[in-house]
Structure 1
Amino acid sequence: MKRVVAGVIILLLFGSVSYLYPKYQEKYEPPLRLHRLPPTLALEIMSLGNKELMAEIIFYNTEFYFGEKVGWRKETPELRRLYDALDKATDLDPYNMDCYYFAQGTLSWIKPAVPHLNRLLEKGLKYRTWDWYIPFFLAANYYFQLKKPAKAANYLKLASKLAPQNALFATLTARMFYEGNETEAGIAYLKSLIADTQNPILRKKFIRRLKALEAISFLEKAITEFQKKYDHKPKSLDDLVTVGIISHIPSDPYGGRFYLDKNGKVYTTSKLAEGWQKSKNDTNKN
Structure 2
Amino acid sequence: MRKFIIFSTLILGVTVSQYFFDFTRPKYSEVPPMLLPTQTIKLADLGLHSAASGLMWIQTIQNIFAPGTKYYLMLSEYLKMVNDLDSRFSYPYAFGVLVLPDLKFIDEAIEIGERGLREADSDWRIPYYLATTYHIYKHDRTNAIKYFDIAIRTANVPDSVKRIALNYGAVSDIRQQTKQIWISIYETSGDEIVRERARLYILHYEYIELLERASNIYKQKTGDYPDSLDKLVSGRILKEIPKDPFGFEYMIDSRGRVSIKIN
Q: Distance in 2 between matches of 1:262 and 1:113?
A: 34
Paired positions, count = 240
Identity percentage over the alignment? 22
From 150, 162, 170, the equivalent of 1:169 is: 162
Within the alignment, does 1:65 sit opposite 2:63 as a pair?
Answer: yes
Q: Judging changes above 3 Å, is the alpha-carbon distance between structure 1 residues 146 and 43 closer, same or farther for their aligned structure 2 residues? A: same
Q: Judging changes above 3 Å, is the alpha-carbon distance between structure 1 residues 246 and 40 closer, same or farther for their aligned structure 2 residues? A: same
Corresponding residue SS for 1:102 = helix
Per the alignment, residue 195 of structure 1 pairs with 187
Q: Could you tell me how far 1:232 is from its partner in structure 2?
A: 7.1
Q: Could you tell me how far 1:200 is from its partner in structure 2?
A: 3.2
Q: What are the equivalent positions in structure 2 for 1:119-268 lying under 5 Å apart?
A: 119-128=111-120, 130-162=122-154, 166-171=159-164, 173-174=166-167, 176-222=168-214, 234-238=226-230, 240=232, 248-260=240-252, 265-268=257-260
Q: Distance in 2 between matches of 1:127 and 1:229?
A: 59
Asked whether the equivalents of residues 89 and 121 of structure 2 are also in contact (C-alpha less than 8 Å), the reply is no
**What are the superposed Cα offsets for residues 222-246 of structure 1, whole Å, 9 maximum, x if unpaired?**
5567779999765333455566765
Gaps of 5+ in 2: 1-22
Q: Could you tell me how far 1:41 is from its partner in structure 2?
A: 3.2
Q: Distance in 2 between matches of 1:269 and 1:75?
A: 26
Gaps of 5+ in 1: 1-24, 272-286
Q: Judging changes above 3 Å, is the alpha-carbon distance between structure 1 residues 182 and 229 closer, same or farther for their aligned structure 2 residues? A: farther
Q: Distance in 2 between matches of 1:148 and 1:138?
A: 11
Q: Could you tell me how far 1:107 is from its partner in structure 2?
A: 2.0
Q: Could you tell me how far 1:201 is from its partner in structure 2?
A: 4.1
**What are the superposed Cα offsets for residues 66-112 of structure 1, whole Å, 9 maximum, x if unpaired?**
35x1xxxx3243223122011111012122133124324532323x3
Q: Judging changes above 3 Å, is the alpha-carbon distance between structure 1 residues 39 and 201 closer, same or farther for their aligned structure 2 residues? A: same
Runs of 4+ in 1 over 6 A off after TM superposition: 224-232, 242-245
Asked whether the equivalents of residues 216 and 256 of structure 2 are also in contact (C-alpha less than 8 Å), the reply is no
TM-score, normalised by the number of residues in structure 2: 0.74
Q: Distance in 2 between matches of 1:236 and 1:188?
A: 28
* Higher-RCO chain (CA-CA 8 Å, sequence separation at least 6): 1
Asked whether the equivalents of residues 34 and 78 of structure 1 are also in contact (C-alpha less than 8 Å), the reply is yes
TM-score, normalised by the number of residues in structure 1: 0.68
Q: Could you tell me how far 1:188 is from its partner in structure 2?
A: 1.9
Q: Which piece of structure 1 moves more, 255-264 or 176-185?
A: 255-264
**What are the superposed Cα offsets for residues 150-204 of structure 1, whole Å, 9 maximum, x if unpaired?**
1101100111122576233333553x51223232223222222222333434433
Q: Could you tell me how far 1:44 is from its partner in structure 2?
A: 2.8
